Structures are given as structure tokens and as C-alpha cells.
């Protein structure tokens, strides 16, 4: 029986791109997803890109009994990449218990099953949100974490702590967290991408939907920040580059090249772009008109953050490669495909 990589949340935005990269690197994959924020047809599109259909199980990982049943059925799991989680910052403020229950129960069920069924390798989808507004930029992995701004952000910080404490007393386990900066873009095939439900919260889906005519104009949330053009700065990372970091992480754990049994890495480009710079880069890359207006600040937004990626570059041998223009063009091509725009 061939070994499998379990990708939870594998039909979601980052999960689906990671399944593609894993399969293209020769791994066999089983996806677990409850389709709460994604569609089953993503599995078909992964197959179209790679020529290989990942296995797929639809259930909720916050259900302990079902999670155990899964591990009893699949005795050949070599490693887990855990993406499955609720991720809307604003919604998490309104529904804190749902967020804590879903995100943390799923994590604990998986860790419990790792121990019980002898799965040793675990990669966790974390976020630069754990740094809050850092005092010093760029942020390295030794930059202190700050209290989270939202229940969602707190689920990431608490999850990291749970994994750290689990690894501390389980010497067989090898755990690795990737702290993503702002993932954007889509697969160059335009067969998979980001599909927000309803009005997008994130900048790039809002930009592409505005360019496609679904939204009247982009609202830029504040131009009175302490940045060169007054708009906030983020480190936007191409989703395919980001997905490749997971393949590298899996290889590191499987081959036992990890230094300690809980490691964490910043996954960004190392470059900061302001909202205004990103808007201009989109217009330049696509040649499409993008109506926008400046409005007030959005509650909870930080001013600026970008990554120091030295550790990921040197230790993982991973580096972001795509240009911001190509990345924005890939997001636009995906939007056009979804809306049947020529
Ligand atoms: N932003 C904006 N208009 C939007 C959505 C986002 O001006 O419609 C800005 C937001 O204020 C932030 C940046 O874009 O400075 C990135 O926001 P996003 O929600 O994509 O990611 P975050 O960094 O908040 O996780």
C-alpha cells in the first residue's frame, strides 16, 4: 500500500494548490474536507491539472469519532498538512465559540490520532497574524508574538501553543508550522483559485471582482497610515510559491532533516507592498480599469508588516519566485475564467 499525505482542507484555496504541488512532486494524497467553504468540483480540477485524482473524504474533523474512523480506515498516512479551519476574521468576532470549537477541536483530534495511529509528521497552516503589529520590521521568527486582534487570530496562536506542547511530550512527533503572510494569486492553469463566498473581505478577490464588474468600486481602507503613500503595507505571497513551501516542509520532516521536533517558519516574499502599490501593479499587469475610492480605516487592521524570510531561505531552501505582476495576472485570469470573461 503506497504512503499517503493527508491534506485537511484540501479543496480550499491554499489546500487545493498544495495538493497539486504534492502530486506533481510524486506524493499520493487523501483530502479531508467538509466542503463548508469549498466545492467538490475542486477535486475534478486538481485531476485535470495533475492527471491524478486525489482520494477524497468528506467529513468534519471537529468530530472526534469520525476522525478516529478515518485513521482506522487509512493506515498508510505518512504525514498530515492541516489547513482545515474557519478563516473569516470579522465572522470570528461574531461567532467566537464556533471558531474556537471548530479550529481547535479539529487540531486536537488530529494530534490525538497521530499519537494513537503512529503518524509522526505534521505541517500546520499558521499565519503572520500571530505577530500583530510588530515593533520592528521585517519580522523574523524570533519577533515576539502579540495578543491576537480577533478570535480567528487567536485560534492560530493557541494552535501553535497546542502543537508546541504536544511535540514537547511526544518525541516521535515532528511538527512544523508555516506562518503565511498574505497569500494571493491562482494556479497558472486558471483551474483552481480563491472562491470567496459572498462579498470578499480580502483585498485581491475584491480587486478582481471589481475589475470583473461584480463590485462597483474598491474601497481602500485608509490612506493616513505612517507609510510612504499612507496606505497599509503587506507581504503578498503567490499561492503556488506558498504551496511549494509545504512540499519542502513535508520532505524535511519525512527525511528527518528537522532540527527540533517543533519548528516554525515565515513564508512570505520579504517585500512589502502598499494597498495603492498593489492596485497600481494590478492595473499595470492586466491593463484593466479599476475604480476605487479612499474610505476610513478598517477596524483591527495593522499598519505594516512584511517578512524576513532568511530562515526559510537558508533552512528550508525555499524562496518565493513569482513577480507581483504575474501573481496578480494569475488572480485576474482565474476571476475571468469564473465569470466567463474573454
Ligand atoms: N483592504 C482594502 N480594501 C478591501 C480589502 C482590504 O483596502 O476591500 C486592505 C486592508 O486594509 C489591508 C490590505 O488591504 O491593509 C490587506 O487586507 P486583507 O484583508 O487582504 O488581508 P489582511 O492583511 O487583513 O489579512
Per-residue model confidence as pLDDT tens for the chain (342 residues): 689 999 999 999 999 999 999 999 999 999 999 999 999 999 999 999 999 999 999 999 999 999 999 999 999 999 999 999 999 998 999 999 999 999 999 999 999 999 999 999 999 999 999 999 999 999 999 999 999 989 999 999 999 999 999 999 999 999 999 999 999 999 999 999 999 888 999 999 999 999 999 999 999 999 999 999 999 999 999 999 999 999 999 999 999 999 999 999 999 999 999 999 999 999 999 999 999 999 999 988 999 999 999 999 999 999 999 999 999 999 999 999 999 998
Q: Is 87 in the pocket of ligand 1 (CB under 6 A)?
A: no
Cα angle 279-11-263, degrees, rounded to a multiple of 5: 80
Which whole-number Å values give the CA distances from 201 to 19, 47, 90, 216, 276, in the listed order?
25, 29, 9, 15, 17
Atom 14 in ligand 1: residue holding the nearest Cα: 203
Q: 196, 215, 236, 298: which to mutate for ligand 1, most atoms within 8 A of CB?
A: 298
Find out whether the beta carbon of 221 lies less than 6 Å from any atom of ligand 1.
Answer: yes
Q: To test ligand 1's pocket by mutation, which of 221, 239, 328 has the most ligand atoms within 8 angstroms of CB?
A: 221
In short, whether 207's Cβ falls inside 6 Å of ligand 1 is no
> How many Cβ atoms sit within 10 Å of the Cβ of residue 99?
24
Per the CB < 8 A criterion, the answer to whether 151 and 102 are in contact is no
Burial 265-279 (b: 16+ CB within 10 A, else e): bbbbbbbbbbbbbbb
Catalytic residue among 74, 100, 117, 152: 152
- Nearest alpha carbon, ligand 1 atom 5: 203
Q: What is the pLDDT of residue 2?
A: 86
Ligand 1 pocket test, pick from 223, 278, 301 with the greatest ligand atom count within 8 Å of Cβ, gives 301
Task: Pick the closest to residue 41 from 172, 192, 260 (CA basis).
Answer: 192
Query: Which ligand 1 atom lies nearest to the CA of residue 221?
Result: 7
Q: pTM of the full predicted structure?
A: 0.98
**Is 152 known to be catalytic?**
yes
305 lines ligand 1 (CB under 6 A): no
Query: Residue 197: its pLDDT value, please?
Result: 87
Nearest C-alpha to atom 19 of ligand 1 is from which residue?
A: 202
Please confirm whether the linkage preceding 69 is cis (ω < 30° from 0).
Answer: no
Query: Considering only CA atoms, which of 126, 58, 62 is closest in space to residue 99?
Result: 62
> Cα torsion for 63, 158, 36, 121, to the nearest 10°?
-70
Q: Is 220 in the pocket of ligand 1 (CB under 6 A)?
A: yes
Residue nearest to atom 12 of ligand 1 (CA): 232
At which residue does the C-alpha cell 515565515 appear? 266
| Lookup: cell for 203 | 483585498
Q: Looking at ligand 1, which residue's alpha carbon is closest to its atom 1?
A: 203
pLDDT of residue 342: 87
For β-strands 233-234 and 273-274, DSSP reports them as: antiparallel
Q: Which of 318, 238, 337 is nearest to 281 (CA)?
A: 238
Residue 149 pLDDT: 87
Q: Is the C-beta atom of 187 inside 6 A of ligand 1?
A: no
Closest ligand 1 atom number to CA of residue 129 = 25
Q: CA angle 202-204-205, nearest 5°?
A: 75
Q: Answer whether 223 contacts ligand 1 (Cβ < 6 A).
A: no
Instruction: Pick the closest to residue 331 from 291, 295, 279, 293 (CA basis).
Output: 279
Amino acid at each position: 500500500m503506497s504512503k499517503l499525505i493527508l491534506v485537511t482542507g484540501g479543496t480550499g484555496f491554499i489546500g487545493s494548490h498544495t495538493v497539486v504541488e504534492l502530486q506533481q512532486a510524486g506524493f499520493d494524497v487523501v483530502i479531508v474536507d467538509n466542503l463548508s467553504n469549498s466545492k467538490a468540483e475542486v477535486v475534478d480540477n486538481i485531476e485535470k491539472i495533475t492527471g491524478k485524482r486525489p482520494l477524497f473524504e468528506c467529513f468534519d474533523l471537529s468530530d472526534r469519532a469520525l476522525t478516529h474512523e478515518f485513521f482506522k480506515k487509512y493506515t498508510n498516512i505518512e504525514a498530515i498538512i492541516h489547513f482545515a479551519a474557519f478563516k473569516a476574521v470579522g465572522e470570528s468576532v461574531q461567532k467566537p465559540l464556533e471558531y474556537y470549537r471548530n479550529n481547535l477541536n479539529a487540531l486536537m483530534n488530529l494530534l490525538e490520532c497521530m499519537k494513537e495511529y503512529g503518524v509522526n509528521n505534521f505541517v500546520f497552516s499558521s499565519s503572520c497574524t500571530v505577530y500583530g503589529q510588530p515593533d520592528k520590521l521585517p519580522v523574523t521568527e524570533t519577533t515576539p508574538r502579540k495578543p491576537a486582534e480577533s478570535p480567528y487570530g487567536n485560534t492560530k496562536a493557541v494552535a501553535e501553543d497546542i502543537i508546541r506542547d504536544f511535540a514537547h511530550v511526544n518525541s516521535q512527533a515532528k511538527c512544523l508550522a508555516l506562518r503565511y503572510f498574505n497569500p494571493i494569486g491562482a494556479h497558472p492553469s486558471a483551474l483552481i483559485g480563491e472562491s470567496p463566498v459572498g462579498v470578499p473581505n480580502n483585498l485581491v478577490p475584491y480587486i478582481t471582482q471589481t475589475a470583473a464588474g461584480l463590485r462597483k468600486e474598491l474601497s481602500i481602507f485608509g490612506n493616513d497610515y505612517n507609510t510612504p503613500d499612507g496606505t497599509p503595507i503587506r507581504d503578498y505571497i503567490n499561492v503556488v510559491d506558498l504551496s511549494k513551501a509545504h512540499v519542502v516542509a513535508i520532505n524535511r520532516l519525512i527525511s528527518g532533516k528537522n532540527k527540533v521536533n517543533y519548528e516554525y517558519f515565515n513564508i512570505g516574499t520579504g517585500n512589502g507592498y502598499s494597498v495603492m502599490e498593489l492596485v497600481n501593479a494590478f492595473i499595470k499587469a492586466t491593463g484593466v480599469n479599476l475604480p476605487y475610492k479612499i474610505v476610513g480605516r478598517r477596524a483591527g487592521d495593522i499598519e505594516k508588516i512584511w517578512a524576513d524570510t532568511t530562515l526559510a531561505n537558508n533552512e528550508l531552501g525555499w524562496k518565493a519566485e513569482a513577480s507581483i505582476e504575474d501573481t496578480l495576472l494569475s488572480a485576474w485570469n482565474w476571476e475571468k475564467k469564473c465569470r466567463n470573461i474573454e
